[in-house]
Structure 1
Amino acid sequence: MSISTPKRRLTGALASAAVALGALAPLALGASTADAAPVTAKPAKPTKPAKPAKPGKPDKPGRYVPVQLLSFNDFHGNLEPPSGSSGRNTTGYTPADPKAPVAQTTDAGGAEYLATRLAQAREGHPQSLTVAAGDLIGASPLLSAAFHDEPAVESLNKLGLDVSAVGNHEFDEGYQELQRMARGGCLDDGAGEDNQDSCPAGTFAGADFDYLAANVRYAGTNETILPPYAVKQVGAAKIGFIGMTLEETPDIVTASGVAGLEFDDEVKAANALVPVLRKQGVNAVVVLIHQGGTPRQLQLGKDADGKPYSVAAPYDYTCAKGGALEDTSPILPIAKNLDPAIDMVVSGHTHNPYVCDVKDPAGQDRLVTSASSFGRLVTETNLTYDKASKDIVRASVEGANLQVTRDVPKDRAQTALIAKYKELVRPIASRVLGSIGADVTRTPTTSGESALGDLIADAQLADDSVVTGGDEPVIAFMNPGGIRADLTRDKQTYGEQVGEVTYGEAFDVQPFNNFLVSMTLTGQQVYDVLTQQVTGANAASRKVLQVSEGFEYRLGSAGPVDGSVTLDGEAIDKAATYRIVTNNFLADGGDGFPAFKGGTGIYYGGLDIDAFADYLEQNSPYTPATPDRILPAG
């Protein structure tokens, strides 16, 4: 494998190979990993839960302590109110037309409103803790991402966050950069010359809250990269928090960012820590985990043809109002097998809202929550702590999701923080790249192709940073999940003209700072890639890759129609070889595409956002064509 010199400084995505951060020692935040039982050990036997007391009839005055937990997840650096559907909660439906029920929504989210909502919720609750379940940073808007998400961490500090699990996006710039987020310090990244600028105001103190990673170890050791748990005391209540990301994190992040790490089974990692906490006199335990569930859709009735129709459940429907999680939800087998001594589970990752009871191994109900994403919701959980048993009275645990509406006063500290970074980001974000003649959107055709996907794939194919030895790629592949926003003509943030596209808008489309990678695939491997769009890990929910101009095929339920895959009008020869380009996430087999890992002659180029920005500059004004590269099989 060879690595070219990219057009931007390799600021973190290649972890130890690209950032001279040195080998960072484990952070002394919260508990020490030295006290923890080996994560590789067999899970501890389920401990017998303490007999719940009756909080309504205390046998000793002051024995019971009311505690409030406020939780959220998947903040993704959204300091400003998120736009579009990402900034709305669905509250219900008006089925005026059975074939097209109208969603009732409320605008929600934004750090200024989230801070106010948290402060309001804490009123009257002297024993209150605020916790999170990961993906607080990464895949962030440019306002935070331009500064390596330092603004997001500063915002979370001001929100009063106490403890959080890490999520998969915390590894977007490598685990060493995650450790810097926790401990503070600055990167020498050229003071914005490459569209990123660490410590623009001079310093970065790191997280005031505990970042936890109980199931992420340095390979071949029992040493976690961050503390596995933290113990928090509010009044007389002492509660242990175990934080974890999903075990599959290496499959959905850049391989270089997690090189040298091992990710353990979530249940084994958490259960092994229960006796560790018990030895410290901590019987009240809450798991913060970046893995989640999918609510079942809401059945609204039957359409004019007598067929049942369903829609996404409102934010408060699952499970309080009759909703339920899909049986295939990844969080369910975890929640069902965690030690009964664990009193509650705060989850995330799927960006869904739910507050549900799931039976633990002892047959007791255990609350499992998730607060959607982008700061649109906060879960309020109220519980009773028994000072005699030093445990949570399980029957007392009650939770509900609260909307973070925008009809409340803005928090002044958050407003000041946003204003500060909006001024600092202006030179980076306001640069006009070019213009578009019409909106370029992610809206897919029935075959899964979009105009914006076509544009991005064409930009990757045109990028010369992936050319090696004169060998130019002839096909580009882009994952649809990596396209995060539309390009619209009427969005003017910095006074630009209608239709002009700024770097900030381009970054909103591609916020991951992925590297472009060229490689050689056989024609058969090209077929394999296309087949994996609808099979294997993608059988239940297909992921249709966006492709570059000149590459066409017909997609059926089992993959591409044999013989329909063509390049510039010529059928792909399964025995021949083809040079292709994609991003490093797909090149590492991400999103369920292991066929890319069989590529040869791997060569790293520049960043995807640079290719996209360059293409817009060179092809302005750009007018999208009707997507016609992927056609249905019929």
Structure 2
Amino acid sequence: MKHSLHTTAFACALLALTGCASLTDSRTAEINLVALNDLHGNLEATKFTYAGVGQKNERTVMAGGIDTIAGALKAWRGEDKDLLLVGAGDMVGASPALSAMWADEPTIAALDLLGLTVTSVGNHEFDQGRIELLRQQKGGCASPRPDKACRFDGRYDGAKFRYLAANVIDANTRKPILPAYEIAEVKGVKIAFIGTVLKDAAEVVAASGIAGLQFGDEADAVNRLLPELRKEGVGTFVVLIHQGGRTPSEYDKQYCGDLEGEIVPVVKKLDPAIKLVISGHSHKGYLCKVDGKLVTQAQMGGHMMSRIKLVVDKQTGNVVDVSARNVVIAQGDYAPEPRAAAYLATVRERSTRELAKPVARIAVPIVKRSDDDESPLGNLVADATLFAGRPFGAQIAFMNRGGIRQNLEAGADNVVTKGQALATLPFANTLVVMNLTGAQIRTVLEQQWVADKVEVRGLLQLSEGFTYKYDLRRPEGARVSDILLDGVPLDDNASYRVAVNSFLAEGNDAFPIFAKGTNRADTGIRDVDMLTSYLVRKDQDNKPAGLAPAQPRIVRIR
């Protein structure tokens, strides 16, 4: 699957790394890259707290924002006109309202403005399904989000950059749904960028949107392409992978050897000819070495970018050296680029009026999303889910922690705006109500610890009136006890009406029981709409939402 680019068409690459001794001579070429991952539609700067090597105290700055990112790229392009800007997925999806309310079209346009050449897909590129991903690439207004698509400019022409997905296969055609790779020619050197998404993407994406797709092993998908690419005269291979890891090392440590997580076995399986892996997904900043390969990631939200230098033998096309550093994109460090700043101002102006509309008053200035067994915001959203499901007979509601993007913040007089509600629930999941037996509900609760996935997902959040206890000292499958609904023990043989979002209803997040629910009612009510309706009702009843319940709903026996 051949796709070739020439840098004169894209104006994308970056300068040699400051402070690094040049290894280039007439026989070698220095190729400079900038890598961005997990932007998640963050067009504006947000708070970022960090500490680098040798820094005892953390700093908190406003970082990112397309105007400042563009300013940094402009400065770096001034030092190397052959600049390649590349991505590692999740450029859109789970986005702030400024982007999400327009089907993320402003972010796609902003990435074009930045000069992005290629990016792997991430799992969030599939949030709205295959059809929407292909629309975002190719353009058009036929969208599963008709209330948002083409509403910003009245038309949408698609992305100028290329999405890559070497390991996402159409089950019928047995071919990738998007190009597997892109070849760029820079300074006489051919570079192949190969893109993949995590093979477990199907576990974190709504099943209905990816029906008929298969997500294969990342390393296998990459390795099988190399013979084809070598025939094209390529000797330099860069993997853009939406999969990540973690390390206790600082974001700018060169080069850590303690990277852990799902990315590590993938890198170890890659062909030795691959010297650079640009990663994402875990929202960590790192520069690490795994089996002689440099593995980078630049946190998320545009807070930092990775500056990478490849030294390539021009005769063989092989990489002889690779180095990198992560740079925090703090506001004030780079002058905003005028065109990007003007575009951001336009997006803000068109969005502010709608987003600023007041919804309702809450009891506190902020309702927090935490990593505890239950959180104030988890309780609130579960209660809102139950509230919206009551007309369909709902008795119990569950909410997955990953479906809550960020804290629910209020403005003056503790009034929540439409934009603040959208920032909390940006996924546009819909409400589904179904019948489950008591035994099935018990199984759902026990499945929270299958293969210790609770460490990744967090416990399901529960609606008011539903409680249980658990003891992790007990064997798997027998950890839950004292399950009560309104003070009455759950009956394994009885049937209960359960409300969840459409993501959970399809059995995602490794809860297959939800997909077996009967008498299903897909209400079509969006998550943010059920939240705002609940907030309005509580405010009207003069009992603003947001206070912690008097008694915990989940009790751990220690």
| RMSD, aligned α-carbons | 2.4
- 2:156 and 2:145 map into 1 onto residues whose CA distance is 16
TM superposition shift of 1:73: 0.4
**2:324 paired with 1:399:** yes
TM superposition shift of 1:417: 1.5
Match of 1:170, SS state, is helix
- 1:437 and 1:454 map into 2 onto residues whose CA distance is 14
Q: Which residue does 2:99 correspond to in 1?
A: 144
Q: Which residue does 1:314 correspond to in 2?
A: 250
TM superposition shift of 1:261: 1.0
CA pair 535-185 structure 1, distance change in 2 beyond 3 A: same
**2:460 paired with 1:533:** no
TM superposition shift of 1:91: 3.4
Q: Which residue does 2:75 correspond to in 1?
A: 120
The answer to whether the 8 A contact 2:24-2:30 is kept is no
**2:286 paired with 1:325:** no
Comparing 65-74 and 612-621, the one that deviates more = 612-621
Mapping for residues 606-617 of structure 1, pairs under 5 Å: 606-617=525-536
1:88 paired residue among 40, 49, 67 = 49
Ranges in structure 1 where 5+ consecutive residues have no aligned partner = 1-25, 32-54, 96-101, 298-312, 360-364, 492-496
CA pair 574-92 structure 1, distance change in 2 beyond 3 A: farther
1:358 paired residue among 274, 282, 290 = 290
Q: Which residue does 1:474 correspond to in 2?
A: 395
- 1:435 and 1:93 map into 2 onto residues whose CA distance is 45
Return the TM-score normalized by structure 1: 0.79
TM superposition shift of 1:254: 0.6
Q: Which residue does 2:11 correspond to in 1?
A: none
Q: Which residue does 2:496 correspond to in 1?
A: 578
TM superposition shift of 1:126: 3.3
CA pair 445-555 structure 1, distance change in 2 beyond 3 A: farther
**2:552 paired with 1:626:** no
The answer to whether the 8 A contact 2:24-2:311 is kept is no
TM superposition shift of 1:529: 1.4
CA pair 70-315 structure 1, distance change in 2 beyond 3 A: same
The letter for the 2-side match of 1:335 is V
The letter for the 1-side match of 2:535 is L
Match of 1:108, SS state, is strand
2:377 paired residue among 452, 464, 476 = 452
The letter for the 2-side match of 1:289 is I
Q: Which residue does 2:18 correspond to in 1?
A: none
What percent of counterpart residues are identical?
39
The letter for the 2-side match of 1:150 is E
**More helix by proportion, 1 or 2?**
2
The answer to whether the 8 A contact 1:142-1:429 is kept is yes
**2:1 paired with 1:67:** no
CA pair 595-93 structure 1, distance change in 2 beyond 3 A: farther
Comparing 124-133 and 276-285, the one that deviates more = 124-133
2:303 paired residue among 354, 376, 379 = 376
The answer to whether the 8 A contact 1:81-1:110 is kept is yes
The letter for the 2-side match of 1:314 is E
TM superposition shift of 1:601: 2.5
TM superposition shift of 1:561: 5.7
The answer to whether the 8 A contact 1:535-1:542 is kept is no
The letter for the 1-side match of 2:77 is R
The letter for the 2-side match of 1:325 is L
The letter for the 1-side match of 2:398 is F
TM superposition shift of 1:29: 6.2
TM superposition shift of 1:593: 2.2
**2:435 paired with 1:511:** no
The answer to whether the 8 A contact 1:480-1:545 is kept is yes
CA pair 366-113 structure 1, distance change in 2 beyond 3 A: same
The answer to whether the 8 A contact 2:204-2:508 is kept is yes
CA pair 272-116 structure 1, distance change in 2 beyond 3 A: same
The answer to whether the 8 A contact 2:471-2:480 is kept is no
- 1:262 and 1:556 map into 2 onto residues whose CA distance is 37
1:484 paired residue among 405, 418, 425 = 405
Deviations 1:123-147 (A, max 9, x none): 3223331110000010001111111
CA pair 323-238 structure 1, distance change in 2 beyond 3 A: closer
Match of 2:351, SS state, is helix
CA pair 419-330 structure 1, distance change in 2 beyond 3 A: same
TM superposition shift of 1:162: 0.8
The answer to whether the 8 A contact 1:66-1:127 is kept is no
Matched residue pairs, number?
532
- 1:546 and 1:190 map into 2 onto residues whose CA distance is 27
Q: Which residue does 2:361 correspond to in 1?
A: 435
Match of 1:315, SS state, is coil
TM superposition shift of 1:560: 7.7
Return the TM-score normalized by structure 2: 0.90
The answer to whether the 8 A contact 1:72-1:132 is kept is yes
Runs (4+) of structure 1 exceeding 6 A deviation are: 92-95, 188-191
1:422 paired residue among 342, 348, 352 = 348
2:245 paired residue among 284, 293, 296 = 293
TM superposition shift of 1:603: 2.4
